[in-house]
């Protein structure tokens, strides 16, 4: 399993999603989005999830945290709902039909669910599983160690733990009825710090210094 085995969708929606993420998000959050997409595609192979809408998965992964940035932060909606609506806007501009645009919202919202049934929503399951690995360190041994290292080298974690930890704490304080509060109460800040991927990141930094 290698990054080269996972093609980036070359479509208007995919290019637009990445351009938006790179313009508005920090490098650490955008790298998290790209890793989440790669983890999601890898989990599809490992878990035998077929029939994936790869373009939808890519757009959802790239934009799943866009609702945390100040320009798209909604004072009432959860950040995942706000980001989902950004996804609808991006894919509307790319000419997606209504039903498929709504799927972007569903996938982004469901990435913050405690779990997603792959039989109900394959892309939502994959994004939830992928972000659980990148944020909380869930199932780190499910993917090949060489692939983990390759992805981490290509898209370094940087200040993700500090940035995302502060962001979700802020979201929980301002919007206590949203999933952010559950994440905070579930110890997401400690999980970020203890994530095994942080150790890989430090090892790569030492190796390259």
pLDDT in tens, 44-74: 999 999 999 999 999 999 999 999 999 999 8
User: What does the alpha-carbon distance between residue 19 and residue 164 come to, in Å, rounded to a whole number?
Assistant: 20
Per the CB < 8 A criterion, the answer to whether 6 and 38 are in contact is: yes
Integer angstrom CA distances of residue 102 from 27, 113, 194: 27, 17, 35
Complete DSSP assignment for 7-25: PPP-SHHHHHHHHHHHHHS
Q: Which has the closest alpha carbon to 62: 98, 91, 96, 42?
A: 91
Of 20, 32, 42, nearest to 126 by C-alpha is 42
Taking the CB of residue 106, how many other CB atoms lie within 10 A of it? 18
For 64, left (φ over 0), alpha (ψ -120 to 50), or beta?
alpha
Q: Are the beta carbons of 146 and 152 closer than 8 angstroms?
A: no
* Burial zone of 46 (CB within 10 Å; 0-12 exposed, 13-18 middle, 19+ buried): middle
CA nearest neighbour of 149 among 207, 194, 200? 200
For residue 4, the model assigns a pLDDT of 95
> Would you state the pLDDT for residue 208?
66
Maximal C-alpha separation, the chain: 49
Q: What residue ranges do the domains of the chain occupy?
A: 3-208
Q: What are the structure tokens assigned to 27, written together?
A: 């490098």
Q: For residue range 97-138, what is the model confidence (pLDDT) as tens digits? A: 999 999 999 999 999 999 999 999 999 999 999 999 999 999
Does residue 143 register a pLDDT over 80?
Answer: yes
Superfamily of 3-208 according to CATH: Hypothetical protein af1432 (1.10.3210.10)
Give pLDDT, residue 202: 80
Which token pair is 59? Answer: 């757009």
The DSSP secondary-structure symbol of 11 reads: S
User: Is residue 97 classed as helix, strand or coil in its secondary structure?
Assistant: coil
Tell me the pLDDT tens digit for each residue of 170-194.
999 999 999 999 999 999 999 998 8
């Amino acid at each position: 399993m290698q990054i080269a085995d996972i093609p980036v969708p070359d479509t208007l929606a995919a290019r637009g999603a990445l351009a938006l993420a790179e313009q508005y998000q920090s490098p650490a959050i955008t790298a998290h989005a790209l890793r989440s997409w790669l983890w999601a595609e890898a989990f599809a192979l490992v878990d035998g999830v077929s029939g994936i809408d790869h373009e939808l998965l890519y757009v959802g992964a790239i934009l799943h945290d866009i609702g945390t940035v100040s320009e798209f932060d909604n004072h009432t909606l959860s950040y995942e709902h706000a980001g989902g609506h950004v996804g609808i806007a991006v894919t509307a501009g790319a000419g997606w039909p209504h039903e498929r645009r709504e799927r972007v919202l569903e996938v982004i919202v469901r990435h913050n669910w405690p779990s997603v049934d792959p039989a109900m929503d394959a892309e939502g399951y994959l994004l939830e599983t992928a972000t659980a690995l990148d944020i909380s360190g869930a199932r780190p041994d499910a993917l090949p160690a060489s692939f983990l290292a390759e992805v981490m080298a290509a898209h370094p974690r940087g200040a993700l733990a500090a940035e995302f930890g502060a962001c979700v704490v802020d979201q929980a304080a301002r919007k206590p009825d949203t999933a952010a509060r559950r994440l905070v109460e579930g110890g997401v800040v400690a999980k970020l710090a203890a994530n095994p991927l942080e150790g890989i990141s430090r090892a790569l930094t030492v190796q390259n210094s």
